[in-house]
Amino acid sequence: MVIAPHGAGLTNLVFSRGAKVLELISIGHGMRPEFFQLTMITGGEYHFHVFAPVNERNDFIVPKPIIEKHLGTLLE
């Protein structure tokens, strides 16, 4: 299981097989399909959640209930 913000660190998914992925995305950063595609190619399960940025650097805050909601789905 991989839970991570959108970024280059998710390229490590290329070494996974069947990972369950939750990508956290700032709406100010834009939606791009790279990590969805990489997850599908490696036989994984992809989920995402989009957040409003809290500053000009597109940082965001992840409320605990959001993670709990997605963990329920990922652990099934």
DSSP structure string for 26-39: ETTT----HHHHHH
Each residue's pLDDT tens digit, 7-30 = 999 999 999 999 999 999 999 887
41 alpha-carbon distance from chain centroid: 16
Whether 30 and 58 have beta carbons less than 8 Å apart is answered as: no
Average pLDDT, integer, range 28-53: 93
Distances (CA, A) of 74 to 3, 16, 56: 10, 16, 31
The confidence band for 76, taking pLDDT boundaries of 50, 70 and 90, is confident
pLDDT at 33 over 90: yes
